[in-house]
Chain A
Amino acid sequence: MLRLSKVNKYYQVGTHALHVLRDVDFEVADGEFVAIMGASGSGKSTLLNILGILDDYDSGEYWLGDTIIRNLSESKGAAYRNKFIGFVFQSFNLLPFKTALENVALPLYYQGVSRRKRNQIAGQYLERVGLRDWADHLPSEMSGGQKQRVAIARALIGKPRLILADEPTGALDSETSRQIMDLLSEINRSGITVLVVTHDPEVAARTQRTIRLRDGKVVSAEDEAARVSHPNLAVAT
């Protein structure tokens, strides 16, 4: 599905470059459900941005399917995002002046689907996340869990091969978090690859595999386990 090899990313901070990702190497197979974990500043958001073609990297290779993602023009990047990737954000990022239905339909708008058709399809996806009756409500009239479901429906409507979720449960209570993770698992079972960035071990536990990041490097599970077992260093997040 996707493969990163020796990906490096620097941020220019003042006069010196901050090395955010160091030789990041990993692979995710088709249909996997993977968590990316790490403390704040470990580089996981940067990694997600690169995976989501929202940001470029400085060296290495990122393959999405059979395509190498490197130095894409903005419109090409937009087209790939629209076609391959669905985003789910911690703060939902629904457009406040659009109804649930219109929010879900938005990616199809950028694919040039007619209004009638995209609203019809959006209705089906709202049904799938159990919010058919909320189609005409504005985000401000919905609960956090409902908003995240709308966001998930929006991520799914473009029939992506990959869902990138950035702390999808970060703003939700534990019961709602559980429901959202149920929904993501269900989506994964339907054959879509799901990547969840989180620092919540419970969320990570719901996935099939966890990739850990520390100081911009992928660390092995054993290293991390050793670190966590040491009480002085644990739970720095």
Chain B
Amino acid sequence: MFDLDKWKEIWATLRSNRLRTFLTAFGVFWGILMLMAMLGFGSAIQSGSKRQMKGMATNLLFCWGQQTTEAYDGLPPGRAVRFDTDDIEILKKLPAIEWLAPRLQLGGWMNNFIVKHEAKTGTFTVMADYPELKHIIAFEYDAGRFINERDIAESRKVVVIGKAVREQLFEPDEDPIGQYIQISGVYFQVVGLTRTLRSGGQGERDANTLFVPFTTLKTAFNMGNRVGFFAMTAKPGTDGDELERQVKEALKRHHRIAPWDDLAIGSFNMFVMFGKFQTFFLVLQIVSWVVGGATLLAGVVGVSNIMLITVKERTKEIGVRKALGATPLSIVSMVMKESIVLTIIAGLLGVAAGVGLLAATEAALSAMPESPLGPPNIELSTVLTAVGILVGAGALAGIMPASHAASIKPIEALRAE
């Protein structure tokens, strides 16, 4: 039942010692502010890292050939492992793979090629790709498209170019689509302009890359059956480690590599990376809650302490109330309500200040899109949880003073002058 007197009473009590009420409230305010700041900071790191990983599937696996280190099946160690088109068929049979993109870099890993358009030239990475790549690395297109199945089937001389390539080879007002560029003496028609979603070094590399159909590179540059490396994603629900194990086992069998030779095939498993990130974020979140919660607890102890003093000072008043018919329960509820109201008001102010702080941080960070910190988002549910904790904390803070108040004997109280 809403009763104005109750609220007036609570207000009167809290107001009767403003400085003390303020200092007490400040403890709770600070606790909740710290909690929100820490959660916000954790979320900023998380969203920043996610931004770094944006444009890349999280269930991604790269595989490339290295050198054997074990003698096996009559073959000596130190043999270079070279993937070929037969491996494509072998890997396509693996049920754990969702998308498979065999890739080949013209001239080999980290080698750039001179590319010309009319009088302009530049050195860029040239990749031979299948259309499946677009499921593994996300691109946006400023114009045109990515390599398609017909390009592969007909070994068309078409090319999709990155942003940096376009800027270096074409005038800003020039439309590259349909124009021809020369890669190592062979002409290719531009069919697409990509814009990568990745950032940092990888984004830089994407911008400086030209993508040509896998089959075209093979015929135009006489690359034979070679495959440089495989990029693939796992089917949803498949374990990344399991995928890596299956892929390596199949490739080792085909290339007559000892099953225990771990160095023959190199790999990068985004799953494992991502798992590490997830664990890191989880730990970060736990630490935020623990430290923020502990700060809040200190505030709550402060509230409890001050309520206890208040109750002692109001011994006489409580005695009078009891003489007039107040039950122990009504005294308990009175003290608890004061404690909860104080905690909640201070806590909500803390939440408001926290939201303001995070909004200001977000505004400051948005000026730096490449910073490792992303926008510090806090979920509404987190805020509501914090408010719930405040109510509980207020009640907790009130228990001891309230039970002390309830145990006051009216005679002793009335005698106290």
Interface residues of chain B: helix, strand, loop or mixed (majority): helix
Query: What residues of chain A lie closer than 8 Å to B406, measured between beta carbons?
Result: 74
Report A40-57 residues with CB < 8 Å from chain B CB. Answer: 49, 52, 54-55
Using C-beta atoms within 8 Å of the partner chain, give the interface range for chain B.
20 to 34
Task: Indicate with 1 or 0, residue by residue over B403-417, a CB within 8 angstroms of chain A CB atoms.
Answer: 000100111001001
Q: State whether B328 touches A89 (Cβ < 8 A).
A: no
Smallest beta-carbon distance A185→chain B, Å: 23
A49 to B12, CA, bound (A): 30
Q: A54-B414, A75-B329, A95-B317 are in contact. Are A107 and B4 (CB under 8 A)?
A: no
Contact among B4, B316, B323 with A87 in the assembled complex (CB-CB below 8 Å): B323
Task: Indicate with 1 or 0, residue by residue over B208-250, a CB within 8 angstroms of chain A CB atoms.
Answer: 0000000000000000000000000000000000000000000
Q: State whether B317 touches A109 (Cβ < 8 A).
A: no
Q: A55-B409, A97-B16 are in contact. Are A106 and B321 (CB under 8 A)?
A: yes
Task: Indicate with 1 or 0, residue by residue over A48-89, a CB within 8 angstroms of chain B CB atoms.
Answer: 010010110000000000000000001100110111000101
Max count, chain B CB within 10 A of own CB: residue among A78, A93, A106, A158:
A78
Q: A91 on the interface (CB 8 Å rule)?
A: yes
Q: A115 on the interface (CB 8 Å rule)?
A: yes
Task: Indicate with 1 or 0, residue by residue over A94-127, a CB within 8 angstroms of chain B CB atoms.
Answer: 0101100010001101110001000000000000
Query: What residues of chain B lie closer than 8 Å to A78, measured between beta carbons?
Result: 322, 325-328
A54 to B409, CA, bound (A): 8
Smallest beta-carbon distance A204→chain B, Å: 22
Q: State whether A110 touches B327 (Cβ < 8 A).
A: yes
Name which residue of chain A comes closest to B4, CB basis.
Answer: A115
Q: B118 on the interface (CB 8 Å rule)?
A: no
Q: State whether B411 touches A54 (Cβ < 8 A).
A: yes
Max count, chain B CB within 10 A of own CB: residue among A79, A110, A111, A154:
A110
Contact among B324, B410, B411 with A154 in the assembled complex (CB-CB below 8 Å): B324
Q: State whether A93 touches B409 (Cβ < 8 A).
A: no
Q: B5 on the interface (CB 8 Å rule)?
A: yes
A89 to B410, CA, bound (A): 13
Contact among A75, A93, A97, A106 with B327 in the assembled complex (CB-CB below 8 Å): A75
Name which residue of chain B comes closest to A111, CB basis.
Answer: B325
Query: What residues of chain A lie closer than 8 Å to B322, measured between beta carbons?
Result: 54, 78, 81
Question: Size of chain A's interface in residues, with CB distance under 8 A?
Answer: 27
Query: What residues of chain A lie closer than 8 Å to B410, measured between beta carbons?
Result: 54
A225 to B322, CA, bound (A): 38
Q: B148 on the interface (CB 8 Å rule)?
A: no
Q: B174 on the interface (CB 8 Å rule)?
A: no
Task: Indicate with 1 or 0, residue by residue over B1-30, a CB within 8 angstroms of chain A CB atoms.
Answer: 001110001001100100000000000000
Q: State whether A79 touches B325 (Cβ < 8 A).
A: yes
Query: What residues of chain B lie closer than 8 Å to A107, measured between beta carbons?
Result: 324-325
Smallest beta-carbon distance B18→chain A, Å: 14
Smallest beta-carbon distance A21→chain B, Å: 14
A87 to B406, CA, bound (A): 20
Query: What residues of chain B lie closer than 8 Å to A79, measured between beta carbons?
Result: 325, 327
Report A5-45 residues with CB < 8 Å from chain B CB. Answer: none
Smallest beta-carbon distance B137→chain A, Å: 69
Query: What residues of chain A lie closer than 8 Å to B3, measured between beta carbons?
Result: 115
A79 to B328, CA, bound (A): 11
Query: What residues of chain A lie closer than 8 Å to B319, measured between beta carbons?
Result: 93
Smallest beta-carbon distance A182→chain B, Å: 24
Query: What residues of chain B lie closer than 8 Å to A115, measured between beta carbons?
Result: 3-5
Q: B301 on the interface (CB 8 Å rule)?
A: no
Query: What residues of chain A lie closer than 8 Å to B325, measured between beta carbons?
Result: 78-79, 81-83, 107, 110-111, 158
A161 to B330, CA, bound (A): 24
Smallest beta-carbon distance B326→chain A, Å: 5
Smallest beta-carbon distance B15→chain A, Å: 9
Smallest beta-carbon distance A89→chain B, Å: 7
Q: State whether A109 touches B411 (Cβ < 8 A).
A: no
Query: What residues of chain B lie closer than 8 Å to A54, measured between beta carbons?
Result: 322-323, 409-411, 414
A74 to B329, CA, bound (A): 10
Q: State whether A110 touches B5 (Cβ < 8 A).
A: no
Name which residue of chain A comes closest to B415, CB basis.
Answer: A45
Contact among A74, A83, A93, A111 with B320 in the assembled complex (CB-CB below 8 Å): A93
Q: State whether A52 touches B323 (Cβ < 8 A).
A: yes
Query: What residues of chain A lie closer than 8 Å to B330, measured between beta carbons?
Result: 110
A82 to B324, CA, bound (A): 6
Smallest beta-carbon distance A171→chain B, Å: 12
Q: State whether B327 touches A109 (Cβ < 8 A).
A: no
Name which residue of chain A comes closest to B323, CB basis.
Answer: A87
Smallest beta-carbon distance B286→chain A, Å: 44
Name which residue of chain B comes closest to A76, CB basis.
Answer: B327
Q: State whether B324 touches A110 (Cβ < 8 A).
A: yes
A210 to B316, CA, bound (A): 30
17 A/B residue pairs, CB under 8 Å, sorted by A:
A54-B323, A55-B409, A55-B411, A75-B327, A75-B329, A81-B323, A87-B324, A89-B414, A91-B417, A93-B316, A93-B320, A93-B323, A102-B5, A107-B324, A115-B3, A115-B4, A115-B5
| Seed contacts A78-B322, A81-B325; 13 additional CB < 8 Å A-B pairs | A54-B409, A78-B328, A82-B325, A83-B325, A93-B319, A93-B323, A95-B320, A102-B5, A106-B321, A107-B324, A110-B324, A110-B327, A154-B324
Q: 10 tightest CB-CB pairs across the interface, nearest first?
A: A82-B325, A97-B12, A110-B325, A75-B327, A78-B327, A93-B320, A54-B410, A107-B324, A49-B411, A54-B411
